[in-house]
Amino acid sequence: MPESKNLDSVPLASPIIPTPTKSSSWFIVTLFLVLFLLVVAIFVFKTSQVVPLDQFIRLPSSAGEHEPAINAPWELVGLALLEGPEDLAYHSKSRLIYTGCVDGWIKRVTVNESGVDTVVKKWVDTGGRPLGIAFGRHNEVIVTDPKKGLLNITQAGKMKVLTKGTKDEKFKLIDSVDVAENGVIYFTEASYKYSLDEFVLDILEGKPHGRLWSYDPSTKKTKLLLRNLYFANGLAISPDQNSVVFCETVMMRCRKYFIRGKKKGSVKDFIDLPGFPDNIHYDIGEDHYWIALAMASSSNSSELAHKYSLRRSINGQPNDQKESINTTTGGVIVVDTKGNPTSHYYGPQFSLISSGVKIRNFVYCGSLFNLYMVRINNLQNYSSILV
């Protein structure tokens, strides 16, 4: 296949651009509120020297006589050693989590029973800002770095740029990546217009600047698959290898793009979400997707509360189902392969998370902003109330 030159030949994901309506104006108002909260949160976070740990977690007071934090519903991992661990990829053989940080380093994080025993080590500095991360077919690490391009890093740490775009179209804010069984790499570009530092402008502008791309290592061809996506963010290949599920953050939804079979090239709705999705990961053990929601939406709390009555708080008890969703709350929503939600783990401690990956009995949550990962402990404590 030739490199994509003619944009018009690419199918439109959203051929109809909605005109402003009443419902889109509440959406804009909600978005402004959310952005305001986000800016306040970042400001407060950046200007406070001390992270108020006691608000987050019960830490052991002394090494000898502590109640292990693992008995807490959740805890912080890698505090102050991980700056903005946006996406996570778990290497089960070495039991290491690979994550890209804001300083350009991809770090490797041990998975220990108790989060405070976690060891964080620097691995490779991309010189940019690694975001999406996934393992390739040969154990290599594939990274979307909006400053450097699509990267291939061998386990020995040798880095190579695979692509920065096509002849006519250079990437701007490439975001999330996954690798199909046949080796083809699929990745999203949240915005072709704005850089990572300006991503809030893209959200404010609210136009579909997002795109979906593929790169085939056997032909070394970069291909534009979809354009007109609304802040195309997380992406995961379906277990049957027939489609990729991608999240459109500002639309609070995920859709499916078929990569083979009869429906190849078409787009289908997958799920509307009760918040703003970031990364999505498929978990083979449970045959479910785990989608990180950076923030919950309060758009129509009675409707959402009804639809997501299965949601539960991480602070112990399942929630009163009538409680409305809180805009300062983030979480992880678990969705089956048909797009039906089965559970939703949430709480204010998950505000601004960008990924949630199930590892053994835990869920590790990355974040574009936080100086740590948040981990949900002992998933079995919640499974008895899964719908």
Ligand X SMILES: *[C@@H]1O[C@H](CO)[C@@H](O)[C@H](O)[C@H]1NC(C)=O
Residue whose CB is less far from ligand X, 117 or 197: 117
What is the rounded CA–CA span in Å between residue 145 and residue 161? 10
List the one residue from 128, 239, 339, 348 that touches ligand X (CB under 6 A).
Answer: 348
Stretch 188-227 residues interacting with ligand X (CB under 6 A)? 217
Residue whose CB is less far from ligand X, 191 or 351: 351
List the one residue from 66, 122, 138, 260 that touches ligand X (CB under 6 A).
Answer: 138
If one asks whether residue 112 binds ligand X (CB under 6 A), the answer comes out as yes
Contact 314, 350 (CB under 8 A): yes
Contacts of 99 (CB under 8 A, 6+ apart): 82, 85, 86, 87, 88, 89, 106, 107, 109, 133, 366, 373
List the one residue from 104, 128, 136, 206 that touches ligand X (CB under 6 A).
Answer: 136
The amino acid at 103 = D
Distance of CA 353 to the CA centre of its chain: 8
**Shortest reach from residue 267's CB to ligand X, in Å:** 26
List the one residue from 152, 188, 191, 297 that touches ligand X (CB under 6 A).
Answer: 152
Strand partners, 90: 97
Contact 276, 252 (CB under 8 A): yes
Q: 340-359: string of b/e by CB count within 10 Å (b at 16+)?
A: ebebbbbbbbbbbbbbbbbb
Closest CA to 329 of 310, 309, 314, 307: 314
**Shortest reach from residue 103's CB to ligand X, in Å:** 23
Contact 247, 291 (CB under 8 A): yes
If one asks whether residue 302 binds ligand X (CB under 6 A), the answer comes out as yes
Size of residue set near ligand X by CB under 6 A: 23
**Shortest reach from residue 197's CB to ligand X, in Å:** 28
If one asks whether residue 73 binds ligand X (CB under 6 A), the answer comes out as yes
List the one residue from 316, 320, 338, 384 that touches ligand X (CB under 6 A).
Answer: 316
3-state DSSP call for residue 285? Answer: coil
If one asks whether residue 75 binds ligand X (CB under 6 A), the answer comes out as no
Residue whose CB is less far from ligand X, 15 or 64: 64
If one asks whether residue 239 binds ligand X (CB under 6 A), the answer comes out as no
- Contacts to ligand X by CB under 6 A: 71, 73, 95, 110, 112, 117, 119, 136, 138, 140, 152, 154, 162, 217, 300, 302-303, 316, 326, 328, 348, 378, 381
